[in-house]
Structure 1
Amino acid sequence: MSTHADQLLARTLDGMAPAEHARLLTDENCGQVPATLVEDPDWMAEQLRLRSRIWNTEDARVLATLWWFSTSTRLITPSVASFVVTGEALSPRLEDLGLHWHPDSRLSGVTSVEVLTGSSALESLAEALHQTLERSITSVAATARIRHLPLWAIATDAIAGCLLWAGRAEGAPERATALAEPLVAAIGGPMPAPRYTEIGSQSGTSRLFTKRTSCCLLYRAPGEDKCSSCPGRSPERRHALLRENTPH
């Protein structure tokens, strides 16, 4: 990691609640592999094979979607968090990322070793995110022989969710989530607009959630149900489940 990247990560952590630091720290319980492996057809095929052991299914569409649902968030977390907290962004380029990889295919995080440069931090981040998302989605879709568009929708939700998480960790969720629309628009590609919804509790408090545009297909794995925030649920049921997670 470059000295500049080290310093930017430290500044990012300093601006966030300590309880949220784990997402940005190196996982000592696993090794690191280069993120460029995402474009290796053999490596990607092996990740899906390993995921089949976790989810007890051979459905490539389900396995690839679940893998991308978690991985997309991991890939963007350092860059989005640093951008929200400091106004500078750690690089999300595949060449600059190390994946915290577990032997069962799970990723617990990533490390970025470079800092993006450019006259506009948002535009530089958007350009780098577009490259990473396009390259990754192309590889995942080719490996599983599935459509690209649902994976782009997952990327939108990953960005919206990561901005919300970073904003909460910094103590300014409204400012962070206001970046969602301009950032996604600048990324371009076939991405739906990011959305949020506010869910109130019986005590009168409310909490902001990502209003997802994508489905992770978890419910298609044996013995699994739809996520609490699944867009496939009725709004009433979805809000009721999310309300259970709202602090009282």
Structure 2
Amino acid sequence: MVEQPAVGGTAVGGTALADPAWLAARLIDLAAAWQIDDLRVAGTLWWYMASATLLDAPVHDSRVDPGLTALVVELRPDGSVARVRHTGSARRQIPALREMVRCIVVPLAEVSGAAERSLWAVTTDAIAGHCLAAPARADELTAAIPELPSPRFVDVGERRFVRRGSCCLIYRSPIAGLCTSCPKRPPAERDRLLAALVGDRPG
């Protein structure tokens, strides 16, 4: 899990998140804060943080409008998304959700060099992270959006985790390391760490 800086930045309208120049500036801010020298890494990490926040309310409430024109976004000083306020409701939420993600992922991939496919995979894992208690909701959303791979889960003891298909690349920062559930870990090591996390056995 990525530990994010405290809130204390500025607020912008959601359409800013689709502006390549605005995104590029936020990636420079994030890269500086996390001591990252590769914009591809910064772009992936920025979207890992942003998608988890942007998708929270829409995943839990099918009436929430996820469209960029209906968002007010609060930023951290490092350029990452801290909070989102939704100002409307949507009759057809899933198409609006797909369009919101597409409008950010396409320019973000362009300015950062990250692959769109990788950013969509991050999106699936963000959705899955909000659906640990309701995996059917994750299946509903990802099945209706062609760009999204299917979500995966793993139960360890009595606790459920996302079996991540994406990597946030935070380990490329000299001030961070691999996440516990990182897909880059050997499966046996990852399972052992997750078991230790829930107290099934000593870590």
| Structure 1 position 185 matched with structure 2 position 143 | yes
Change (3 A) 1:28 1:142: closer
Aligned letter for 1:102?
A: R
1:149 aligns to what?
117
Alpha-carbon distance, 1:51 to partner: 0.7
Separation in structure 2 between the aligned mates of residue 53 and residue 43 of structure 1, nearest angstrom: 16
Q: Return 5+ residue gaps in structure 2 as ranges.
A: 1-5
1:79-120 CA deviation, whole Å, 9 max, x = no partner?
11223xxxxx21111111111112321321101000111xxx
Distance in 1 between residues matched to 2:88 and 2:126, nearest whole Å: 21
Any conservation in 2 of the 1:92–1:128 contact (CA below 8 Å)?
A: yes
Give yes or no for the alignment of 1:97 onto 2:71: yes
1:30, 1:232 → 2: CA distance?
32
* Cα distance change on mapping 1:102 and 1:178 into 2, 3 Å: same
How many Å separate the matches in 2 of 1:155 and 1:52?
21
Where 1:100 maps in the other structure, the secondary structure is strand
Q: CA deviation at 1:70?
A: 0.6
Give the match for residue 233 of structure 1.
185
Q: 1:45 to 1:28 in 2, by over 3 A?
A: closer
Query: 1:94, 1:132 within 8 Å by CA — same for their partners in 2?
Result: yes
Query: Of the candidates 64, 71, 89, which is equivalent to residue 115 of structure 1?
Result: 89
Q: Distance in 2 between matches of 1:155 and 1:79?
A: 13
SS at match of 1:192: coil
What residue ranges of structure 1 are gaps of 5+ in the alignment? Answer: 1-26, 84-88, 118-123, 165-172, 201-205
Give the Cα–Cα distance (whole angstroms) in 1 for the partners of residues 7 and 49 of structure 2.
19
- 2:39 is aligned with 1:60: yes
After superposition, where does 1:11-26 map in structure 2 within 5 Å?
none
Identity of aligned residues (%): 34
Q: State how many pairs are aligned.
A: 195
Q: 1:247 to 1:94 in 2, by over 3 A?
A: farther
* Structure 1 counterpart of 2:49: 70
Give the match's secondary structure for 1:208.
Answer: strand
Contact 1:98 1:112 in 2 (8 A): yes
Normalising by structure 2, report the TM-score.
0.89
Instruction: Determine whether 1:220 maps to 2:166.
Output: no
Give the Å deviation of 1:30.
4.7
* SS, match of residue 149 in structure 1: helix
TM-score by length of 1: 0.74
Alignment partner, residue 211 of structure 1? 163
Query: 1:48: how far off?
Result: 0.8
